[in-house]
Structure 1
Amino acid sequence: MSPTALIATGGYSRSGTGRGRGIELLRITTADADSEAGAAQHVQDVEHLATVDLPDPSFVLWSAEGTLLYAVLETSPTRVVAVRVAADGRSAEVAADLPLEGSGGCHLAFGRSPSTLVVADYGSGTVETVRLDADRLPTEVIDVDDHHDRADGQDPHPHQVRTLPGTEKLAVPDLGLDRVFLYRQDLEGQMGLCGEIPLSRGSGPRHIAPDHESELLHISCELSGMVATAARQPLESTRSAPAALGGTVHRWSVRSMIPASTRPGENFPSHIELAGEDALLLVANRGPDTLSVLSLTMMRPEIVAEIEVGAHPRHFTRLGDLVLVAAQEADRIDVLQLQGEELSVAGEPIPAPSVACLAVRP
């Protein structure tokens, strides 16, 4: 039997600002690579299972057991929705719908504190923490951090929340403030700022990709079209930063900044992820409408491959050796194969109106 996967897509909807239905569930059947026959992994079949009509779900996230799908809606106010999905993926229903305090939510992630979600509100410039109840459903906002407090007259736009492996921190890149903010979260779920990574003015940090120890942090810079790499270095405890920070503090510094694409013209990079056991970096480029592969084996990242995809690649996810790319303005999901450092087309694009994000069910 060929391997199958359940994929959730979120996108801008007809009930919001786009052409899609909101959330759609797809079953993708793949064929494994056959090295003896020279055949690469590819998509054999795509089945559209269920839809949930929601306004502008801009990011979706599965629960660990795969029974709930969380979505942040890019509305005013921001809403966090939990969708209960049947085991076969053929039915789905909204189990909870919580309005937040901010607006224009664009990303969410699980917090370091058990039973919390952390949401980035692009529109209002805030980061909100949501409590989950015993059934893992969102019930209330328990913390709001306003980036206007650190804006110095600029317009803050937090764009993502990522946990940093090997640490107790979460990172939030702010496109408007040209900084990546670092947070600690206590057992009650409250967020406290504990550091920042400054980038050059006009960089516009959007998404980040930490390595497995969070020694390096790769940052897609939407406004400059660059990929920044920041390195973490430990410092000895000082009087100004002693026991409260565990005796050791770290300093981050940007050690390289390179173009995310080799193509001419403007580029607004979106999503970024590590691959190849942290030896490769994948970057989606809007403008040239490509996906780049960067090698991390040199002193600084170096582009080794780049392939065209549909218009406005906003997000991508991995499925084995496949890379599924959400091409928002092309109304499709591109299917690519990553073999070593090479990218190739591994199937026909999958129709998906105004698709903005993808998530593979655990």
Structure 2
Amino acid sequence: MASKIHRDCRKIPELLFLTGLGLLSVVLSTRETRAEGNTVYRVYLGTYTRGDSRGIYACEFDTSQGTLSAPKLVAEVRNPAFLAFHPTLPRIYAVSELWQTEGPDRGAATALEIDDRSGALHVLNQEAVGGAGPCHLAVSPNGRYLVTANYGSGSTSVLPLDGDGRLQPRSCVIQHEGSGPNEARQKGPHAHQTIFSPRGEILLVPDLGIDQVLLYRLDEKTGRLTAWNPPRVDVPPGSGPRHCAYHPSGKLLYVVNELASTVSVFECADEVPVRLVQTVSTLPPDFEGQNTTAEIEVHPSGRFVYASNRGHDSIAAFAVDPATGKLSEIGQFPSGGKVPRNFAIAPGGRLLLAANQDGHNVVVFAIEPDSGKLRATGVSVQVGSPVCIVFRPIRR
């Protein structure tokens, strides 16, 4: 099947592929300019619980004004590094990035009920993921499963969800295998993200330790993972893929590489990444310090891609070529703090929030609609070790 996909991809007329991408970008850009029905959001912040942080925090964010309220603690959870919402229920899930597989310091996932009036969270239950250092999670589009990327053990776990959104004992753990050329960071596998393709058919898991983005099929009846065909795509050796994001068209996948401070661009066929077409640096040519990348997002218009630099402490911005999907550098913009581990483009596409882990702040930027450049708005809030940002509409 893999060879068939490659053959089919080559048969696609280049003009048809490029025209389709360009037209979709125009449509998305038009949609983006229309006012959304909701402009006020509750921003939930995942953190590392050290120093002043005690768990998950929440702010109110007005996307029309760019205002952000002071964070309030809404749930005490240990190291809730990443958060994900249920698609239909008022539930939010957090990984506890702890480094044992069993016992009190075990890596786990926590299900929490959302009180949409107050924003408060109430713990429903917690389940061990069967791996060490779970650092990312995703809920399947049908809301029946939670999948986690376990960095420490280099594995991917699946936990069923019941009708109330509570976690059930894990149904599957897939252990990754292999290593990479970076002896300090790639002695073994290190899964770093779980993300479903736009149609929800493919589970992608970038693994920093083995320089691969692994592709899985999730069986909706059994909750088990099997390899897709092809089972993976490779990035250049020593790159250390961390996170990835699809272009809104589904025809391109962008992968941020933590160790090499680069972004790799893959052409997709039916949302399956099949061909590496470009790798670009996230850093200015004259930078000589130490740096690792963290997060990547594609603007909802499909015109821009952003990636965070930790060390250079900036958000790198790229323009997407509407003809090829390749990237050209716009520039690097200071993140307003130290170690921007995560950032998120707010609904509507006009603002970006950067979570500076070691700066202990969240900073608001405006996105210039024509150029994609970032402009600091002067709005920021203090919170201990923020590492994840997610948005939920507030309905008055």
DSSP 3-state at the match of 2:118: coil
Aligned to 1:60: 83
Q: 1:87 to 1:111 in 2, by over 3 A?
A: closer
Contact 2:253 2:267 in 1 (8 A): yes
Q: Which has the higher contact order (CA 8 A, sep 6+)?
A: 2
Contact 2:268 2:275 in 1 (8 A): yes
Aligned to 2:94: 71
Shift of 1:88: 2.0
Shift of 1:276: 4.7
Aligned to 1:308: 334
Instruction: Give the Cα–Cα distance (whole angstroms) in 1 for the partners of residues 158 and 360 of structure 2.
Output: 32
1:20 to 50, 53, 56: 53
What are the equivalent positions in structure 2 for 1:70-109 lying under 5 Å apart?
A: 70-75=93-98, 76=100, 77-109=106-138
DSSP 3-state at the match of 1:349: strand
The letter of the residue matching 2:333 is I
Instruction: Give the Cα–Cα distance (whole angstroms) in 2 for the partners of residues 80 and 303 of structure 1.
Output: 38
Matched, 1:7 2:66: no
Instruction: Give the Cα–Cα distance (whole angstroms) in 1 for the partners of residues 96 and 304 of structure 2.
Output: 31
Aligned to 1:288: 312
Shift of 1:315: 0.8
Q: Greater share of strand residues, 1 or 2? A: 1
Aligned to 1:243: none
Shift of 1:78: 1.3
Aligned to 1:205: 241
Contact 1:6 1:89 in 2 (8 A): no
Shift of 1:110: 1.4
1:351 to 382, 387, 394: 382
Shift of 1:4: 2.2
The letter of the residue matching 1:278 is G
Matched, 1:259 2:293: no
Give percent identity, aligned residues only: 27
Q: Which stretches in structure 2 are left out of the alignment for 5+ residues?
A: 1-37, 101-105, 181-185
C-alpha offsets along residues 218-259 of structure 1, whole Å, 9 cap, x if unaligned? 10000001111111358xxxxxxxxxxxxxx96722111110
DSSP 3-state at the match of 2:358: helix
Q: Which stretches in structure 1 are left out of the alignment for 5+ residues?
A: 33-40, 235-248
Q: 1:72 to 1:182 in 2, by over 3 A?
A: same
C-alpha offsets along residues 277-331 of structure 1, whole Å, 9 cap, x if unaligned? 2111011111110112100116531111321011100111122311011100000
Shift of 1:83: 1.5
Instruction: Give the Cα–Cα distance (whole angstroms) in 1 for the partners of residues 272 and 85 of structure 2.
Output: 32
Instruction: Give the Cα–Cα distance (whole angstroms) in 2 for the partners of residues 218 and 232 of structure 1.
Output: 10
C-alpha offsets along residues 121-179 of structure 1, whole Å, 9 cap, x if unaligned? 0001110000001101111100110003x559940000001111246111100000000
Matched, 1:176 2:212: no
Contact 2:141 2:200 in 1 (8 A): no
Matched, 1:226 2:262: yes
DSSP 3-state at the match of 1:20: coil
Matched, 1:128 2:128: no
Instruction: Give the Cα–Cα distance (whole angstroms) in 2 for the partners of residues 283 and 251 of structure 1.
Output: 19
Q: Greater share of helix residues, 1 or 2? A: 2
Contact 2:256 2:294 in 1 (8 A): yes
Contact 2:97 2:133 in 1 (8 A): yes
The letter of the residue matching 1:23 is I
Q: How many residues align?
A: 333
Instruction: Give the Cα–Cα distance (whole angstroms) in 2 for the partners of residues 355 and 49 of structure 1.
Output: 13
Matched, 1:192 2:223: no
1:337 to 346, 357, 366: 366
The letter of the residue matching 1:21 is R
The letter of the residue matching 1:316 is F
Instruction: Give the Cα–Cα distance (whole angstroms) in 2 for the partners of residues 283 and 90 of structure 1.
Output: 29
Aligned to 1:51: 74
What are the equivalent positions in structure 2 for 1:24-43 lying under 5 Å apart?
A: 24-30=57-63, 32=64, 41-43=65-67
Contact 2:111 2:167 in 1 (8 A): yes
1:271 to 291, 295, 305: 295
C-alpha offsets along residues 29-48 of structure 1, whole Å, 9 cap, x if unaligned? 34x2xxxxxxxx522x5143
Instruction: Give the Cα–Cα distance (whole angstroms) in 2 for the partners of residues 192 and 294 of structure 1.
Output: 35
C-alpha offsets along residues 75-127 of structure 1, whole Å, 9 cap, x if unaligned? 12211101112122353221111122111000000125640011000001110
Instruction: Give the Cα–Cα distance (whole angstroms) in 2 for the partners of residues 221 and 255 of structure 1.
Output: 15
Contact 1:12 1:356 in 2 (8 A): yes
Aligned to 1:242: none
Instruction: Give the Cα–Cα distance (whole angstroms) in 2 for the partners of residues 270 and 159 of structure 1.
Output: 10
DSSP 3-state at the match of 2:170: strand
Instruction: Give the Cα–Cα distance (whole angstroms) in 1 for the partners of residues 217 and 255 of structure 2.
Output: 20
Q: 1:308 to 1:176 in 2, by over 3 A?
A: same
TM-score, length of structure 2 as denominator length: 0.79
How big is the alpha-carbon RMSD for the aligned residues of Structure 1 and Structure 2?
2.2
Instruction: Give the Cα–Cα distance (whole angstroms) in 2 for the partners of residues 202 and 360 of structure 1.
Output: 34
Shift of 1:74: 0.3
Instruction: Give the Cα–Cα distance (whole angstroms) in 1 for the partners of residues 218 and 196 of structure 2.
Output: 11
Instruction: Give the Cα–Cα distance (whole angstroms) in 1 for the partners of residues 310 and 277 of structure 2.
Output: 24
Q: 1:278 to 1:156 in 2, by over 3 A?
A: same
